[in-house]
Amino acid sequence: MLKFQKRFLLLITLLLLVSCKEERRKESDSATVANGENSIKYADGFEISNFEDYKVITLKNPWPGSDHIFKYALVPKGTTLPDAENYDAVIQVPVKRMVVTSTTHIPSLEALREIDALIGFPNLDYISSEKARARISEGKVMELGKNEDLNTEVLLDLSPDAVIGFAVDGKNSTFNTLQKAGIPVLYNSDWTETSPLGKAEWIKFFGALFNKEKLAQSIFENIETSYLTAEETASHAKETPSVISGAMFKDIWYMPQGGSWGAKFIEDANGNYLWKDSKGTGGLSLNLESVLEKGHNADVWIGPGQFTSLEDLKKASPAYTQFKAFKNGEVYSYNLKKGATGGSMYFELAPNRPDIVLKDMIKILHPELLPAHSLYFFSKLH
């Protein structure tokens, strides 16, 4: 009888220990870092959760219209995850060798002082970053072809710790091949964010991969403060200039929808985007007549497609000369600033530095508010 009681007490003790451990695990699994180190404030597309021995990146919007959720486990180097099969990828961190597939990923690596981790990229000419171009010149970053048709053989030879990809529909046979070969592939959907600060917050995605969460948080907070301060400055403008955007391509005028990233900058710079009430976060496709009717008297024209001079606009279509902004020379483009091999500085860096974009917008719309600021991304067409 005494032996039975001892066994019973031992069993009860073990059950209590397991229960407590499981309860702590549940609490850990449902909570992010208490000090907010990895808290996501603006971005809608991802979350970061920190547990006792590992981290998890949850990707909620991998591409527009998708309801698929990806989970990536980040574990310390040399350790294994018992339930690895429950994750779409398991990455040992800190990552030392990385392949990225969008130029928007490059500034995060540079800001985190991890540009030396970059070993491969599709179409190297698109990269504008001087530090990245120096590595390319030294032969330390391999050409991977086109994003939709990556060179699988070169990728496998590189054997990166992680490949950061993006997708418009989730159909990429190269990524499937890499995953079967044991190379982790993580989707990055920074491009689906419509909030300027939401796009910039994706630096935390890379911060987690390099175990540099605190640095990523600090960098983002500086950008956030700079952006919000500029927005507050713009709110004191005495006037709200009217704005049109975009240009024609094959007789169709493309411009941002009212809920888009580009429209948000104009709003925060205290400008009146004439199509601000249009629904959606992508682009509008309009005919010239409707744009002329509504926007011919707009004060400012921002982002006139690929055109780089007023003369180019005039040659492309005499109709452009009918706009008040054209007549007054108030047309501004982000296409004149290029990297050494022709890559767009705007498309690469602007999503990461929305505060600079906003200051440019304020300088264009309300130059008296930022007298010391010089246009960085935008140039006035002549």
Question: How many separate domains does the chain show?
Answer: 2
The domain that contains 359 carries what CATH number? Answer: 3.40.50.1980
**Residue 267 CA: distances (Å) to CA of 39, 241, 243, 358:** 26, 11, 10, 10
**Residue 370 CA: distances (Å) to CA of 274, 287, 379:** 24, 36, 16
Which residues span the domain enclosing 55? Answer: 29-224
Cα separation of 135 and 118, whole Å? 9
104 and 48 share a domain? yes
Structural domain includes residue 281? yes
Cα separation of 273 and 243, whole Å? 5
Structural domain includes residue 240? yes
Give the mean model confidence (pLDDT) for residues 306-334.
Answer: 96
Cα separation of 230 and 373, whole Å? 11
264 and 372 share a domain? yes
Assign 146 a pLDDT band (cuts: 50, 70, 90).
confident
Assign 157 a pLDDT band (cuts: 50, 70, 90).
very high
pLDDT on residue 66: 85
198 and 323 share a domain? no
- Write down which residue in 224, 245, 270 finishes a domain: 224
158 and 305 share a domain? no
Could you read off the pLDDT of 259-298 as tens digits, one per residue? 999 999 999 999 999 999 999 999 999 999 999 999 999 9
Question: What pTM was computed for the model?
Answer: 0.88
36 and 152 share a domain? yes
Could you read off the pLDDT of 17-69 as tens digits, one per residue? 334 434 433 333 333 443 334 589 999 999 999 998 899 999 998 988 888 99
12-21, 120-129, 360-369: least confidently modelled range: 12-21
1-10, 176-185, 198-207, 307-316: least confidently modelled range: 1-10
Percent of the chain with pLDDT over 70: 90
Q: Is the pLDDT of residue 246 over 80?
A: yes
Structural domain includes residue 137? yes
Q: Is the pLDDT of residue 2 over 90?
A: no
Assign 82 a pLDDT band (cuts: 50, 70, 90).
confident
53 and 172 share a domain? yes
Q: Judge whether 189 and 166 are in contact, CB under 8 Å.
A: yes
Q: Is the pLDDT of residue 218 over 80?
A: yes
Backbone angles phi, psi at 166, to 5 degrees: -145, 160
171 and 275 share a domain? no
Could you read off the pLDDT of 187-203 as tens digits, one per residue? 999 999 999 999 999 99
- Kindly provide the residue ranges of all beta strands, DSSP E only, lying in the chain, ordered along the sequence: 46-50, 55-59, 70-76, 89-93, 98-100, 118-121, 142-143, 145-146, 149-150, 162-165, 185-187, 242-245, 247-249, 252-256, 272-273, 283-286, 300-302, 331-333, 379-380
Strands 300-302 and 242-245: parallel
Whether the upstream peptide bond of residue 318 has omega within 30° of 0, thus cis, is no
pLDDT on residue 171: 74
Number of helices (H), then strands (E), in the chain: 14, 19
Structural domain includes residue 322? yes
Structural domain includes residue 267? yes
Q: Is the pLDDT of residue 143 over 60?
A: yes
Cα separation of 159 and 178, whole Å? 9
62 and 150 share a domain? yes
Structural domain includes residue 17? no
Query: Rg of the chain over CA atoms, in angstroms?
Result: 25
Structural domain includes residue 2? no
Question: What three-state secondary structure class fits 99?
Answer: strand
pLDDT on residue 38: 52
Cα of first residue to Cα of last residue in the chain, in angstroms, is: 99
209 and 325 share a domain? no
- Write down which residue in 191, 224, 257 finishes a domain: 224
214 and 254 share a domain? no
Give the mean model confidence (pLDDT) for residues 64-90.
Answer: 91
142-156, 183-197, 312-326: least confidently modelled range: 142-156
Cα separation of 276 and 244, whole Å? 10
- Write down which residue in 179, 203, 224 finishes a domain: 224
Q: Is the pLDDT of residue 8 over 60?
A: no
